[in-house]
Amino acid sequence: MFDVFDPSEKWRYYLTRPFDLFGASLWHRWYYSPEIKTILGVQIRKVLFVEESRDMIRQYRTQRELLKFAANIMLKHLLFHPNKTKKLLEHGIALNQQASRVISKGPIGFEQLEEAVSFYTKLAIYSTILPYFIYELVGRINFCFKAIKNLSEQLRTKSYYPQLLSEIIIPLAEAKIKQAGIQNAESAVKVITYEELLADDYSEISSRLAAKRQGKYFIYQNINGIWTINWTSSPQAIINIIEGRFAAVSANEISGKIAFRGCVTGHVKIVLSATDWPAFNNGDILVAVSTNPALLPLIHKAGAIITNEGGITSHAAIISRELKKPCIIGTKIATKVFKNGDLVEVNANRGIVRKLRLP
């Protein structure tokens, strides 16, 4: 089990997001790129990704690097340079506006894949990473940063990076793969890293596609630029070892933090992707790892929102307060406990979701 990742690193669960291997390599790039070093003066160079279900990955960072990253943002930006922080967030809003214009043009908006990825990385840093940490920090300290808080909240309610990835970067990557004479570029792009693509290294595509066909899932580790990719048929066993969880998930009732109060009963709809949604009716209960602006059409129809992740400053919490929808966040296991069609009672006055009937 330990030959697929380095257990000597003190890995800490960070986030879960719907990415394949290509998306994971770009996600890590947000944190170790030259761009983030220039903008924030700090990098996170160690990462472990475990694909827990197809194209859904859990990201782990080391405790030390995460604390150093957050401390850098608080001390070098928020506390001692609030005006600089405000300007960084304002630039994030400007980049969002630019992203909207670029996306409307499609892949022709960029001449080269590298140019698109550079913009994607900057967009993620300014409009996703920075407001995420800033908003969390503002919520934990007693200082008043009203303008900064408002800008962070504005950025957290609108995100363009998923569209930029799916509508610009992936088509450009597929075109590059096709130019190399590789067949089935749509499948190949899911099992290649960005670094391999830049190096025109397509040697592992066939074996990785075969591993997927065998029902295996990737474990991608990158430590200081040295990366390894392994495959496993038991990702949950790996996750249990990393997170110290050995009990099977089985429950009829779960609890979490209250984001917006209220009580409602409805049928569960599990949403694990920003684009691939189940049929969703008015009043259905949206259950997700986390929410993002791409899910707004479903959020407006939902009777309530339940997430695995998140605190009071998460997107789900912000949007539920705005729309006045019952919302319970930080349940950790909602997407594993409930199934599509389960009839549940959401008691957001107590922070409890209870299964009433199986589908």
Phi first, then psi: what are they for 350, rounded to 5°?
-115, -5
Please report whether residue 243 resides in a domain: no
Give bridge partners of residue 287 from the DSSP assignment: 270, 306
Q: Report pLDDT for 2.
A: 53
Residues 188 and 72 in one domain: yes
Q: Report pLDDT for 142.
A: 52
Residues 124 and 60 in one domain: yes
Residues 210 and 85 in one domain: yes
Please report whether residue 124 resides in a domain: yes
Domain closes at, from 237, 269, 288: 237
Taking only the tens place, the pLDDT of each residue in 280-292 is 999 999 999 999 8
Q: Report pLDDT for 25.
A: 97
Residues 52 and 187 in one domain: yes
Please report whether residue 215 resides in a domain: yes
As a three-state string, the secondary structure of the chain is CHHHCCCCCCEEEEEEECCCHHHHHHHHHHHHCHHHHHHHCCCCCEEEEEEEECCEEEEEEEHHHHHHHHHHHHHHHHHCCHHHHHHHHHHHHHHHHHHHHHHHHHHHHCCCHHHHHHHHHHHHHHHHHHHHHHHHHHHHCCCCCHHHHHHHHHHHCCCCHHHHHHHHHHHHHHHHHHHCCCCCHHHHHHHCCHHHHHCCCCCCHHHHHHHHHCCCEEEEEEECCEEEEEEECCHHHHHHHHHCCCCCCCCCEEECEEEECCEEEEEEEEECCCCCCCCCCCCCEEEECCCCHHHHHHHHHCCEEEECCCCCCCHHHHHHHHHCCCEEECCCCHHHHCCCCCEEEEECCCCEEEEEECC
Residues 81 and 147 in one domain: yes
Please report whether residue 289 resides in a domain: yes
- Is 74:27 a contact under the CB 8 Å cutoff? no
Residues 233 and 262 in one domain: no
Q: Report pLDDT for 7.
A: 85
Residues 264 and 218 in one domain: no
Q: Report pLDDT for 247.
A: 47
Residues 111 and 227 in one domain: yes
Please report whether residue 244 resides in a domain: no
Give bridge partners of residue 227 from the DSSP assignment: 222
Kindly report the CATH number assigned to the domain that includes residue 343: 3.50.30.10
Left, alpha or beta for 106 (phi > 0: left; psi -120 to 50: alpha)? left
- Is 354:344 a contact under the CB 8 Å cutoff? yes
- Is 146:138 a contact under the CB 8 Å cutoff? no
Q: pTM for the whole thing?
A: 0.83
Residues 12 and 138 in one domain: yes
Please report whether residue 248 resides in a domain: no
Please report whether residue 33 resides in a domain: yes
Residues 306 and 232 in one domain: no
The parent domain of residue 333 ranges over: 253-357
Q: Report pLDDT for 245.
A: 63
Residue 48: both structure tokens together: 């472990």
Domain closes at, from 189, 205, 237: 237
- pLDDT truncated to tens, each residue of the chain (359 aa)? 557 788 889 899 999 999 999 999 999 999 998 888 888 888 999 999 999 999 999 999 998 998 888 888 877 777 777 888 899 999 999 999 999 999 999 888 898 999 999 999 999 999 999 888 887 777 666 556 788 888 888 898 888 999 999 999 999 999 999 999 999 999 999 999 999 999 999 999 999 999 999 999 999 999 998 999 999 999 988 998 898 865 455 578 899 999 999 999 999 999 987 666 788 999 999 999 999 888 889 999 999 999 998 887 788 999 999 999 999 999 988 998 999 999 999 999 999 999 996 55
Residues 71 and 169 in one domain: yes
> How many domains does the chain contain in total?
2
Q: Report pLDDT for 359.
A: 54
Please report whether residue 247 resides in a domain: no
Domain closes at, from 207, 237, 267: 237
Phi first, then psi: what are they for 249, rounded to 5°?
-80, 115
Residues 30 and 90 in one domain: yes
